[in-house]
A and B are shown apart, each in its own frame.
Chain A
């Protein structure tokens, strides 16, 4: 395998790791709100956050371009302020992976948090613990298995992201070609032997992640 293959492997892991970190940081509070708060538009919020699960990734990518492209709703201000656009950078690959993989964590963590017995939460409140303390010391530890399963699945999904990444980050060799994109290019130019390694690696890693997620989620789903 040559240099470019190793680059793709490293880039994929890096993109998936950063995206997953962001997913955990932002997804857990959202999952908590969806699981524990009764507010107007709760199910609408759930749908908005989790619709990338069922949309074709190209459609998700399309929306992201409309939002973050150089002339996008958000992107144009970013560009005007900094002269920088996220398009065709590895950050774009992170953004695409983040949006596509976020729903997995939200769905699974929400279910896990909802399954925490209401009376344990009430007990914590009557023992003088604030909502935050209760969330950190009762709900999160008891929903841990679901959170771990959701995180692992999100990582696997982020690593396998193709469609939205292609739309947003392009397929620039040595810059944004993650494993799935590199495989697409190699297959397109008939370089099968180069692709084999990455295909096997992706399959193996995804299998391992699914296995871990199943072990952790057995009790909650």
Chain B
């Protein structure tokens, strides 16, 4: 089961052609910027329409060009954390989190939001605005907002790229715990090799809109299938 993705898309001279699947594990889409990783997430979430392909999660079809199925992004059960986090600047921390649960009945909404505030260590910050809290706290708000409606898969588009190095290490630990708690497929886009190696159960190496290699991080590191992958996993020296 898990998440199955087959996508073709041409946009502004760039061409993406990718095909992979994943279970309840953490899959890292790894590659240089512009390799089509973020575009893949947008296509999965329905923010962009593929030219051709299929998106299936736990046996439910959300997009299929062959049968014309195209579920709008509002009705797809993906939690999405954006590269710039995309917190609503005019809403408080609690306002942002509650906004993530439009379909939850009113009386449950506040309880659920309070739970999220507790589990994401945001207590005391409920009434602050995003510009009044730290980068790490903003990060946790973005995760809480994406998770409050209990998505069935999580799409993370370089969510740690804006953080300082020590904070980034902390967030990686946080993400590992999150994955254990939620037990859903998690797809993480990154161009940071150490992040990929540290977090990935499976690593999918992207280059110029194509998949070069897929496998456990060790396997990719030790046996790059071609020079391009060798360059990718060798050139960006792991940060420790």
Contact check, A127 vs B145: say whether CB atoms are below 8 A apart. yes
Chain B contacts for A141, CB-based, 8 A: 90
Chain B contacts for A119, CB-based, 8 A: 82-84, 86
Contact check, B102 vs A127: say whether CB atoms are below 8 A apart. yes
Chain B contacts for A133, CB-based, 8 A: 102
The B-contacting residues of A in range 100-153, CB under 8 angstroms, are: 117, 119-120, 122-130, 133, 137-138, 141-142
| B103 on interface, CB distance cutoff 8 Å | yes
Contact check, A123 vs B74: say whether CB atoms are below 8 A apart. no
Chain A contacts for B75, CB-based, 8 A: 128
Contact check, A127 vs B100: say whether CB atoms are below 8 A apart. yes
With A119-B86, A122-B47, A141-B90 known as contacts, the answer to whether A129 contacts B80 (CB < 8 A) is no
19 A-B contacts (beta carbon < 8 Å)? A119-B84, A119-B86, A122-B47, A123-B86, A123-B88, A125-B46, A125-B72, A125-B74, A126-B79, A126-B80, A127-B99, A127-B100, A127-B102, A127-B146, A128-B100, A128-B101, A128-B149, A137-B99, A142-B90
| B78 on interface, CB distance cutoff 8 Å | yes
Contact check, A129 vs B82: say whether CB atoms are below 8 A apart. no
Shortest C-beta distance, A178 to chain B (Å), equals 38
The A-contacting residues of B in range 82-128, CB under 8 angstroms, are: 82-84, 86, 88-90, 99-103
A79 CA / B149 CA spacing, docked (Å): 57
| B3 on interface, CB distance cutoff 8 Å | no
Shortest C-beta distance, A177 to chain B (Å), equals 44
Chain B contacts for A117, CB-based, 8 A: 84, 86
Shortest C-beta distance, A113 to chain B (Å), equals 14
Contact check, A126 vs B47: say whether CB atoms are below 8 A apart. yes
Over the window 142-184 of chain B, the binary record of Cβ atoms lying under 8 Å from chain A Cβ atoms (1 yes, 0 no) is: 0001100100000000000000000000000000000000000
Chain A contacts for B84, CB-based, 8 A: 117, 119
A117 CA / B83 CA spacing, docked (Å): 13
| B53 on interface, CB distance cutoff 8 Å | no
Most chain A CB within a 10 A radius of its CB, from B47, B83, B101, B146: B47
With A137-B99, A142-B90 known as contacts, the answer to whether A127 contacts B149 (CB < 8 A) is yes
Q: Identify 6 new A-B residue pairs, CB closer than 8 A, beyond the known A119-B82, A120-B88.
A: A122-B42, A122-B73, A125-B47, A126-B79, A126-B80, A128-B103
Shortest C-beta distance, A21 to chain B (Å), equals 25
Most chain A CB within a 10 A radius of its CB, from B46, B76, B100: B100
Contact check, A138 vs B88: say whether CB atoms are below 8 A apart. yes
Contact check, A129 vs B99: say whether CB atoms are below 8 A apart. yes
A142 CA / B88 CA spacing, docked (Å): 9
Residue of B nearest to A138 (CB): B88
| B57 on interface, CB distance cutoff 8 Å | no
Residue of B nearest to A126 (CB): B80
| B45 on interface, CB distance cutoff 8 Å | yes
Residue of A nearest to B73 (CB): A125
The A-contacting residues of B in range 39-79, CB under 8 angstroms, are: 42, 45-47, 72-76, 78-79
Chain B contacts for A138, CB-based, 8 A: 88
Among A120, A128, A137, A142, which residue has its beta carbon within 8 angstroms of that of B74?
A: A128
A123 CA / B157 CA spacing, docked (Å): 12
A82 CA / B240 CA spacing, docked (Å): 82
Chain B contacts for A142, CB-based, 8 A: 88-90
Residue of A nearest to B155 (CB): A126
Shortest C-beta distance, A136 to chain B (Å), equals 12
Residue of A nearest to B99 (CB): A127
Over the window 197-220 of chain A, the binary record of Cβ atoms lying under 8 Å from chain B Cβ atoms (1 yes, 0 no) is: 000000000000000000000000
A120 CA / B46 CA spacing, docked (Å): 15
Contact check, B99 vs A126: say whether CB atoms are below 8 A apart. no
Chain B contacts for A126, CB-based, 8 A: 45, 47, 73-74, 76, 78-80, 146
